[in-house]
Every structure is written in structure tokens, then in C-alpha cells.
Amino acid sequence: MSRSDSRSEEGRTSVVYNRMIVEEMKEGLFIGDRDSILFVNEAFQSMHGLSRGSLLKKKILDLVAREFHEELIEKLGAMIDGKSSQVQIEYSRLHQDGRKIPTQLRANIIPFNHRRAFVGVCLDMKDQGEPEEKLDHLKELSENILSSSYDSITVVDQKGSIIYFSPASERITHYKKEEVIGKSLSIFYKDKELFREKIELIERTKGPVSYEAVILDKEGGEHILFVSRSPLKDREGNSIGSVGICKDITERRLMEERVRGRERLAYIGQLTTLLAHEIRNPLSSVKMNVQILSEKLNLSGNDRRRMEIVESDIKKLETILEEVLNFAKPMKLSLEPADVDEIVEEVLSTVDDRIRDKHISVKRNLNRSLPKILLDRGKIEQAILNIVLNAIDASKPNGNLKVITEIGKVLEEQMIKITISDNGIGIEEEHLRNIFEPFYTTKLQGTGLGLTNVKKIVEAHGGFIRVDSALGRGTSVYMFLRRR
């Protein structure tokens, strides 16, 4: 193909594309001169209810209500005569069915077949003339969408102050929007530093972030939320805050943890029962023969001491086996009405010597008006004792131990909440995820079943347990028990 043929082909393609664009326009477009109409697109035909052939036989004034003729002649004439380059006129166009329809005409001079003509674009004022009504409708529609969302929607400015608080947010937190507008959203976060970190991350990256957070409601209830927060920008693209959509996943998360925990414990329980029985028989044989030899040989001195060490270690192994077998057994509860505060006091009394040895200060904040609830007193005491002993072990000399009992709220249900906190060494995040796993321990001694059994006891009572910890700042254990 020659260069001229190529240019010719490009020209034909350009014409085709231009015609397609004009015909696809939603606005009415026409080309005219002082006396006649030279071209119309499909939208212009539709606006007047006439065919292209009919329109090309008419003058512009034939399509305009008589009361606008004088203004139209004056302004279009001035533009064609070169006195102005463009005009904008509002008038009433005449439809074939006799209607007068408010219309806006915007026209510019163009060269057309070596004469001065103009291209005009007609806009339907019925669509253009009701911006306030449309904005009100869109505003109402947007508010209905936000109000209908089951997920919480919050909007904050760049400082984290609340500027929008959806009805779902009110339902979850039990706060009215009037109570929180203008306040920092961090007031709901259990970990307030987490909120500040995420706001700073959005500001720094200009992108969305997703994370889980524990939110406190007005009554002190805790909710686990999955938060998706995105930057909010104005029309110029400047950052003005962020919008967050929060899904309450508390119930789902608790259920998932329980199901996973039960499946894992069932498998481990089967395995440990098998191993315990396989070990117990030879261990009993070793114990019996050691006792016989000890009596027959009449050992003394270091030999006698060595035999005593063997007997002592055999007893330790038996204790471990007993713990393993107890762990593998289904939890059976002997329920009776019990006072949680009394159980806490008994546990603290039991470990009083160890507390005094480390000069630990104990602060009690017990709600003496808590109702009695159905518990297996012995097992709950065992669970609380295990947690308190861990807190004492983690505490430095002259440390602090705090015990709180109160009514907590989870998923709209009131529960007895026991909090045991220390300001000890804390737990590393990698260990924190595994502390309830069977046989997982960072201690030099122990089976790693202590906290596993604590969780098993609490869940057998229909409750749940949660741990927060920061390395070097201490650990808090929250135990929730159902009121039944």
C-alpha cells in the first residue's frame, strides 16, 4: 500500500469513528447556518420526534417556541457575523406531539463546506434543571444503603475523629452517634495503639488495610471485629480521612476456635492415652524391681542416695502419666451453686506463701454482688490456681498481681469475667499463639498441659478464655464463665 493510500485509509477510518461518536451521543447535536439545518444526529431526532429527512427540510426557528424567536435570531446572528464565538441559550423546543420542552442550546462557529456555520448541542433541561432534587435523591439513597448495612461503617478524619457512625455501629457499641461524633474512634479499641498504627499506615501508604481488633461496647462487652479501612479523598484527590467497614466475627471466631480445639484435643487425647498405657506397664515393673532391690541390697551412702533419686524420678513419671490420662479423659462436671469471689480468695490464700516470698503486691477488685453460678468448684479452683501460679512465676520480686471479678458482656450475653494480670516478663507473640496447645511449654519443668487443661475446664462450663500479653510489660488472662 502506498503512503497516499495509507493516508486515505486513515482518513476514511477517522470519518467512520467520528460519525460513530456523534451518533452515540446522548445529547442532541446538529449543524446549521442562518437559514437551514444541515446535519442532525439520532439524539436530536429523538428529542423532536421527527425523522432526519423531515428535520433537514426545516429551519431552526421551526423547532423553537415563538416567544424565544427574537432572542435566538439575535444571538445566533451575532455569532455567525463574527461578533461572538459561542452562545448559550435556554428556550422551549417544540416536539412533534405538541409539547414545549425546556432545552439548553450551546453553539460554536465551525467551517462547513466553505461557509460559516455552527454546531449546536441541545441538552434536555428536564434532566439538567433538577440538580437539587437529584442530589437529595442520591443522598437519601446513599443513607439508606449505609443504614441498611449489617456491618458497621465508620468514617474518621485524618486525626481519627469520628465524622460518620452508622446504625450498625450504634447496634454493636450501644452508643448513639450523637455521643461519639467528634471523638476519636480509638475509644472503642481495647488496644488503642493498634488504631493509631493503622491510621498512620493508611496515611503513609495511601492504601487500604485489613486487620482484626477487639472492640469494647458501652457496657464493657467485647467484640472481635474484622476491619477493612480505606483512605477517603476529596474531589481533588487529597486525603481527608478514612472509611472503615467492620464485620463482627466474635461468634464465628469463638466457634471456629472451639471446633478446632476439640478436634485437635480428640486426636491428641487418643494418641496420649495409647502412649500412657504403653509406658505405664513397664514403668510399674521398673518401680517394683527398684523397691525389691533397694530392700535386698541394703544400700548405704551414695548408692542409697542414687536409689532414692531413681524412686523419686519414677514418682514424677507417674505424676506426668496421670496428668496425661486426665487430659485425655472427657471432662465430667459436678455442678453446684458457687461464689466466684470465694473461690478466688481461697486460691490467693493457698499461694500466700509464694506471694510473700517474692514480695508481690496483690490488688483485689472483686465485685461482691456477683450472683452465684453453677460450677464444678474444684475444677474452677484448679483453673484459677494454675493461672495465678503462672502469674507469680512470671513476676519479678516486688511485682504486682491484680485480680478482678465483674460482669462482662459477650455477644449480648452477660457473663462472669475474671481477670488476672501481672506486670511480669510477658509472653513473646510467637509463644502467645501456642500457649493453650497440649504439651507446649517454655518452662524447664512441666508437661505443658496446665493451660490446656485450664481452657478445657473453662470451655466445659460453656465459657472461654483469652490472653493478652506484651513482652516486658506483663500478661492479662480473661476468663469468661456463663451465668447458669
- Each residue's pLDDT tens digit, 331-358: 778 899 999 999 999 999 989 989 999 9
Pairing of strands 400-410, 361-366: parallel
> 232 and 257 share a domain?
no
CATH number of the domain within which 224 lies:
3.30.450.20
Q: Which residue, 211, 231, 248, sits at the end of a domain?
A: 248
Phi/psi of residue 406, each to 5°? Answer: -165, 175
pLDDT above 60 (res 139): no
Determine the pLDDT at residue 66.
92
Region of 434 (left: φ > 0; alpha: ψ -120 to 50; beta: rest) is alpha
**Cα angle, residue 353 at apex, residues 352 and 358 outer, rounded to 5°:** 100
HSE (side-chain half, CA atoms, 13 Å) at 105: 27
> 56 and 112 share a domain?
yes
17-26, 42-51, 119-128 — which is least confidently predicted? 17-26
> Does residue 143 lie in a domain region?
no
C-alpha cell at 476: 492479662
Higher pLDDT, 91 or 408: 91
> 356 and 422 share a domain?
yes
> 239 and 371 share a domain?
no
Q: What's the Cα-to-Cα distance from 424 to each of 25, 390, 420, rounded to whole Å? A: 73, 10, 12
Q: What's the Cα-to-Cα distance from 7 to each of 1, 13, 100, 392, rounded to whole Å? A: 10, 10, 47, 89
Higher pLDDT, 81 or 183: 183
> 114 and 15 share a domain?
yes
Determine the pLDDT at residue 13.
46
The CA distance from 266 to 273, in Å, is: 11
List beta partners, residue 213: 225
Region of 476 (left: φ > 0; alpha: ψ -120 to 50; beta: rest) is beta
> Does residue 110 lie in a domain region?
yes
- List pLDDT tens digits, range 238-260: 788 888 888 888 877 777 766 66
The CA distance from 388 to 424, in Å, is: 12
> 166 and 124 share a domain?
no
Q: Helix H segments across 25-63?
A: 42-48, 52-56
> Does residue 268 lie in a domain region?
yes
> 412 and 357 share a domain?
yes
Phi/psi of residue 477, each to 5°? Answer: -115, 130
> Does residue 84 lie in a domain region?
yes
Determine the pLDDT at residue 273.
66
Q: Binning pLDDT at 50, 70 and 90, where does residue 45 land?
A: very high
What is the domain range of residue 155? Answer: 150-248
Closest CA to 482 of 454, 461, 466: 461
> 271 and 323 share a domain?
yes
Range among 76-90, 194-208, 275-289 rated most confident: 194-208
Mean pLDDT of 56-68: 91
HSE (side-chain half, CA atoms, 13 Å) at 57: 5
Determine the pLDDT at residue 314.
82
Q: Which residue, 128, 160, 189, sits at the end of a domain?
A: 128
CATH number of the domain within which 386 lies:
3.30.565.10
Kindly report whether the global pTM for this prediction surpasses the value 0.85. Answer: no
> 268 and 204 share a domain?
no
Q: Please give the mean pLDDT across all residues of the chain.
A: 81
Q: Which residue, 328, 344, 364, sits at the end of a domain?
A: 328
> 457 and 341 share a domain?
yes
> Does residue 135 lie in a domain region?
no
> 472 and 360 share a domain?
yes
> Does residue 133 lie in a domain region?
no
Mean pLDDT of 411-439: 80
Q: How many structural domains does the chain have?
A: 4
The CA distance from 438 to 263, in Å, is: 12
The CA distance from 126 to 28, in Å, is: 14
> Does residue 206 lie in a domain region?
yes
> Does residue 142 lie in a domain region?
no
Q: What's the Cα-to-Cα distance from 39 to each of 31, 297, 428, rounded to whole Å? A: 5, 124, 78
> 276 and 295 share a domain?
yes
Neighbours of 306 (CB within 10 A): 11
